[in-house]
Amino acid sequence: MRIAVFGNLYQEAHIQELSTLFDLLSRHNVWVEMEESFYNYLCSMLQSPPEINDIIKGDDFNAAIALSIGGDGTFLRTAQRVGEKEIPILGINTGHLGYLTDVSVDEVNDNLHNLLEGKYLVEARTMIGVTSPDAKLDLWQYALNEVAILKEDTSSMIEMEATVDNSHLATYLADGLIVSTPTGSTGYNLSVGGPIVAPSAPVWAISPVAAHSLTMRPLIVSDDSIISVTTRSRSATYRISLDGRSQTLPVGTTIEMRRAPFVTRVIQRLEHRFTDTLRSKLLWGIDKR
């Protein structure tokens, strides 16, 4: 089996577990290729370098599985690196909440044999693709979690004229607007009062940020929809953010959002259930007294 490994550079508390993981992969004759920055970091932390077969320096790699070692931010970055390859990604949580990461670092060695034997589920997660007829977008134009349209830090609220499939939806007066996938519904979307959506649901959530009118509530639309938003403001610019990657655009610019032509494939344990995640990560039904 060929495995591509990506990770963040904040692993001090888990360095021994990671050393054991790479030793086990080597003993199972797994071909391991690792992103260069993560490899250099591990070399600086471990007494001896991890045994790997190749270094990933760009996008010229392929594997049966990708490991994302870190938190949700690392998972989103791994999804970007994988991109259209659609390599299934297993998230190993060494961060905090780790909503996207199904296995904690102290569990991964016990679950390694299931991974190598193909005993796992793969969920296909839809992504949002973003284009603009008015401006060049200088960032990767796909989002696994959400696309956010936001005011600049010093400006007043912005006006966002939104259409769905060429039909006028609303003119939002707010600090911003979030278009979220089901995967991202428990992130930024949830923090502004948006709904939690089951990962397999073929929908998006449109949620305003601090709307001027209390009647402007979150809305669920089909992920077959094309959402278009033209933003105006007293300021000369506003920002768009795709999974935290942001770019400043001039007011009057329109952006269009549609379902991406590829998906992110997320590895889950066979016993994984979405409802279990709600209880373990968001503490649903947990009496904290």
Residues taking part in catalysis: 72
Contact 181, 204 (CB under 8 A): yes
CA of 131: how far to CAs of 23, 138, 140, 142, in Å? 44, 11, 10, 9
**Amino acid sitting at position 270:** L
CA of 5: how far to CAs of 13, 100, 150, 161, 279, in Å? 19, 16, 33, 42, 29
User: To which residue do tokens 């449109």 refer?
Assistant: 206
Report the distance separating Cα 100 and Cα 265, nearest Å.
12
Nearest-5° Cα angle at 22, 16 to 27:
125
Report the distance separating Cα 62 and Cα 147, nearest Å.
28
Going by C-beta distance under 8 Å and a sequence separation of 6 or more, which residues neighbour residue 191?
A: none
